[in-house]
């Protein structure tokens, strides 16, 4: 899989640009603030379904609200745009091309068109596969579990649409259960009686999610360990593990056992949405002892391993996007 063309209009600080990358390696070179990271972000949107640096997608629109610095000049209020556009053309290893276009509007909505058909953002995931490394990814090692869950959930979702659908269902059921828990102490008896009804549905999705996570980690960990060993000349050992896998019956019992605690805290306190992945360096949690350089090497090995698993599973390497990879 490779990118044959990326076109941007009114995207962040890029007024208009068209880039035709090489089939192999393309290096973006330029001064700070010229849009190199913005270009990589735009390519990655077609894989992730949204920009990785912001939840407020109207921020992608060129000069929005005035005050944005573009090419060293601060834009005035009348110089902003009311839309942003990105169009990506990519090809598989047989040369078959696909064109996808995304337009963002000031009201926060967006339109996604692939080969003339309208798509939902979630329908982008798994079609164009990309792996992005940015300096912010060091949080995978040094921050809490939510970033690691997001990394692995997205990695698996790019390869397994059933997993993505199950994860979506789980989060929907979880949201409904948490809404009931938040008002549990002030609601009437009939609403309280509905709480156990969520358990079998949560347990079914939780068992499937954790099963797939465990299966993915077996492939991922072997590759990441090998890559990290090569990086360090065999002097250091990196390992990744996931211990959250349970059966449907075990999850049903777990949710039942934690029900009183959930009522007390007003939220579901256990399940796949609370799981973590262990990242170990020489048998010790990397979060506790890895230096900045070691963290960078760990994250790079994780990103490269993600690509290797994609190649093994789909027959094609993804598009690798490295932002400021040599900054330290």
Positive or negative torsion for Cα 57, 60, 65, 67: positive
Strand order, beta sheet including 97-105: 14-19, 2-11, 83-91, 97-105, 110-114, 117-119
What is the reported pLDDT for 53?
A: 81
Residue 71 banded pLDDT, cuts 50, 70, 90: low
Pairing type for strands 14-19 and 97-105 reads unpaired
Domains along the chain with CATH numbers: 2-128 (3.40.50.300), 138-315 (1.20.1050.90)
Burial 108-124 (b: 16+ CB within 10 A, else e): eebebebeeeebeeeeb
Reported pTM: 0.85
Are 267 and 182 spatial neighbours (Cβ–Cβ below 8 Å)?
yes
Residue 29's pLDDT is what? Answer: 87
Name the more confident of 237 and 194: 237
> Is the predicted pLDDT of residue 66 greater than 60, yes or no?
no
Mean pLDDT of 277-301: 92
Which phi and psi angles does 274 have, rounded to 5°?
-115, 0
3-state secondary structure of 238: strand
Query: CA gyration radius for the chain?
Result: 22
pLDDT band of residue 327 (cuts 50, 70, 90) is: low
| 319 neighbors 131 (Cβ within 8 angstroms) | yes
pLDDT value for 65: 41
Averaged over 84-113, what is the pLDDT?
91
For residues 276 and 280, give the distance between their C-alpha atoms in angstroms, rounded to a whole number.
Answer: 13
Beta 117-119 vs 73-74: how paired, if at all? unpaired
pLDDT for 24 equals 87
């Amino acid at each position: 899989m490779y990118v044959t063309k990326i076109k941007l209009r009114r995207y962040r600080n890029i007024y208009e640009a068209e880039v035709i990358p090489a089939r192999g390696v393309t290096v973006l070179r330029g001064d700070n603030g010229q849009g190199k990271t913005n270009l990589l972000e735009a390519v990655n949107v077609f894989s992730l379904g949204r920009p990785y640096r912001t939840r407020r997608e109207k921020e992608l629109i060129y000069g929005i609200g005035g005050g944005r610095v573009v090419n060293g000049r601060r834009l005035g209020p009348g110089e902003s745009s009311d839309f942003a556009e990105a169009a990506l053309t990519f090809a598989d290893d047989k040369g078959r091309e696909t064109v996808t276009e995304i337009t963002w509007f000031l009201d926060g909505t967006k339109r996604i068109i692939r080969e003339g058909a309208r798509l939902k953002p979630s329908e982008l995931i798994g079609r164009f596969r990309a792996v992005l490394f940015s300096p912010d990814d060091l949080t995978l090692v040094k921050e809490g579990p939510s970033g690691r869950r997001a990394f692995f959930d997205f990695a698996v979702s790019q390869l397994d649409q059933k997993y993505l659908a199950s994860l979506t269902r789980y989060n929907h059921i979880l949201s409904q259960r948490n809404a009931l828990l938040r008002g549990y102490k002030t609601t009437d008896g009939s609403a309280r009686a509905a709480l156990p009804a969520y358990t079998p549905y949560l347990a079914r999705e939780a068992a499937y999610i954790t099963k797939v996570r465990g299966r993915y980690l077996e492939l991922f960990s072997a590759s990441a360990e090998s890559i990290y060993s090569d990086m360090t000349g065999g002097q250091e050992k990196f390992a990744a593990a996931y211990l959250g896998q349970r059966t449907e019956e075990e999850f049903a019992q777990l949710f039942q056992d934690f029900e009183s605690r959930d009522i007390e805290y007003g939220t579901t306190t256990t399940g796949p949405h609370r799981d973590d992945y262990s990242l170990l360096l020489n048998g010790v949690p990397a979060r506790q002892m890895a230096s900045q350089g070691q963290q960078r090497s760990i994250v790079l090995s994780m990103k490269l391993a993600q690509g290797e698993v994609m190649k093994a599973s789909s027959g094609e390497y993804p598009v690798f996007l490295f932002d400021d990879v040599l900054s330290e």
